């Protein structure tokens, strides 16, 4: 398949390019789903219904292994409930009850500086919560990005539940209250950079959001806050290091971040088609119309090209079987296979040229559906046909590795399946959610359409200097 065919891979992409890089404001129903894609979306949605605590809305980080709650996965579950209603899989009443129970829990959960007995501090929430108590799990960090992904789900739900019903009004009121109490300015501990997190035992994490990755939404919601905003200079600082990420080594030139989730997470909630910040406007003047949506489409092409070239010589990689991101893996060990020593990893962030150990994650491709629907559909069909053990009534298991067909030592996750190789034994909430949400964005524009009117987000976009496209409509 030539490069132009890839870039034109859908009616949505074609419309965007025909408009000089700016997609139509609404593409509702523009992309009818292949039956296999529709089935995957429904099965993955059903996973969230099956595993999420209805009374508090706590979604496990992983399942069926015993697990703590992931607050980011909760945000994804909140986003899934309206998707279910729109598709006829859940009643509005059930979605409203689940959503209200969740926002009530997080609104009322204890906040404070203590190392135990709290769910968060300064408005932020801990990365993982104990599913019995709802309090901090172990010694995990207060996470700025996981809080942001939870807020993304809440803010979308508050837009979608727009009725005069008292419970829907309460969803909107509590969501805004939760967002307003986040002290984003407290998390700026180095000039114009937001820290990734904080521990009550040791203080702020040394790492900041200062390289192109999934952190864009953190900065946008931080700038858009009415109560504790950060300076727009954080966006200038964010973009100032883009030259380090710009590459032509993997596919067409783009801002490179090896694992695919970095090109997906903020796109679940932000429609980047046709809107540009100052850096994008300058880059567009240099190379032609270019936005963050186009960047992610190029990243998808880069991943697929990498699988075709397969420099590591891993089994299974091809034009139809591709996708590297953060996911489970067999374990941290070395093993000789066909006279070649191979290194494998357990849970790790994988990408082209970075910790690639032959482990493929279906979510890397499936959650890229808006960027390359034809190629993703072909990948889905190929994975189902060639590796049927990976596809289940709950959608795809988290990952698989066709190269690792035997193991004498211990496996940290999963098992060896004869005739296939290593297969994960869990589903991860943060990998399941993007599949449901991104397929729906491509199908009906649902999350993007509602979030284009979300005032906190749009305020952040404008402060970051975005204009054009739907922002100017």
Q: How many residues comprise the chain?
A: 473
Kindly state the percentage of the chain with pLDDT values over 90: 93
Predicted pLDDT of residue 20? 35
Contacts of 247 (CB under 8 A, 6+ apart): 253, 254, 256
Rounded to an integer, the average pLDDT of 264-281 is 98
pLDDT band of 54, cuts 50, 70, 90: very high
pLDDT band of 225, cuts 50, 70, 90: very high
Q: Where are the domains of the chain?
A: 3-472
Predicted pLDDT of residue 30? 56
pLDDT band of 31, cuts 50, 70, 90: confident
Predicted pLDDT of residue 9? 33
Q: Is the pLDDT of residue 8 over 80?
A: no
Rounded to an integer, the average pLDDT of 214-225 is 98
Pairwise pLDDT comparison (4 vs 127), residue with the higher score: 127
Pick the CATH number of 3-472 from 1.50.10.140, 3.30.70.100, 2.60.40.10, 1.10.10.10: 1.50.10.140
pLDDT in tens, 343-394: 999 999 999 999 999 999 999 999 999 999 999 999 999 999 999 999 999 9
pLDDT in tens, 88-138: 999 999 999 999 999 999 999 999 999 999 999 999 999 999 999 999 999
How far is Cα 36 from Cα 101, in angstroms, rounded to an integer? 33
């Amino acid at each position: 398949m030539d490069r132009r065919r890839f870039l034109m891979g859908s009616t949505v992409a074609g419309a965007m390019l025909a408009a000089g890089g700016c997609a139509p404001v609404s593409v509702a129903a523009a992309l009818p789903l292949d039956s296999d894609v529709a089935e995957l979306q429904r099965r993955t949605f059903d996973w969230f219904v099956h595993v999420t605590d209805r009374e508090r809305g706590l979604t496990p980080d992983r399942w069926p292994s015993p697990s703590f709650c992931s607050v980011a996965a909760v945000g994804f579950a909140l986003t899934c409930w309206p998707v279910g209603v729109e598709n006829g899989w859940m009643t509005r009443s059930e979605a409203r009850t689940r959503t209200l129970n969740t926002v009530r829990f997080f609104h009322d959960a204890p906040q404070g500086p203590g190392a135990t007995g709290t769910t968060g501090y300064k408005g932020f929430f801990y990365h993982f919560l104990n599913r019995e108590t709802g309090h901090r799990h172990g010694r995990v960090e207060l996470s700025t990005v996981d809080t942001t992904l939870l807020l993304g789900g809440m803010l979308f739900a508050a837009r979608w539940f727009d009725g005069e019903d008292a419970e829907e009004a309460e969803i909107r009121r509590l969501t805004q209250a939760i967002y307003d109490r986040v002290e984003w300015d407290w998390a700026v501990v180095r000039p114009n950079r937001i820290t990734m997190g904080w521990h009550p035992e040791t203080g702020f994490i040394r790492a900041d959001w200062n390289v192109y990755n999934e952190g864009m939404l953190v900065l946008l919601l931080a700038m858009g806050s009415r109560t504790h905003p950060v300076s727009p200079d954080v966006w200038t600082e964010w973009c100032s290091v883009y030259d380090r990420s710009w590459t032509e080594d993997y596919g067409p030139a783009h801002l490179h971040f090896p694992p695919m989730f970095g090109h997906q997470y903020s796109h679940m909630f932000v429609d980047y088609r046709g809107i540009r910040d100052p850096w994008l406007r300058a880059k567009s003047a240099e190379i032609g119309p270019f936005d963050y949506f186009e960047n992610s489409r190029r990243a998808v092409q880069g991943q697929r090209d990498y699988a075709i070239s397969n420099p590591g010589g891993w089994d299974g990689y091809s034009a139809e079987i591709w996708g590297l991101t953060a996911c489970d893996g067999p374990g941290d060990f070395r093993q000789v296979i066909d006279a070649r020593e191979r290194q494998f990893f357990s849970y790790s962030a994988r990408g082209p040229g970075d910790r690639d150990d032959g482990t493929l994650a279906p979510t890397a491709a499936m959650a890229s559906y808006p960027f390359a629907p034809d190629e993703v559909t072909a990948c889905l069909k190929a994975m189902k046909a060639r590796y049927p053990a990976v596809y289940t009534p709950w959608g795809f298991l988290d990952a698989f590795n066709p190269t690792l067909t035997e193991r004498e030592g211990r496996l940290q996750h999963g098992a060896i399946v004869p005739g296939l190789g290593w297969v994960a034994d869990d589903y991860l909430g943060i990998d399941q959610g993007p599949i449901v949400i991104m397929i729906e964005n491509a199908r009906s524009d649902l999350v993007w359409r509602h979030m284009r009117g979300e005032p906190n987000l749009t305020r952040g976009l404008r402060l970051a200097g975005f204009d054009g496209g739907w922002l100017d409509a």
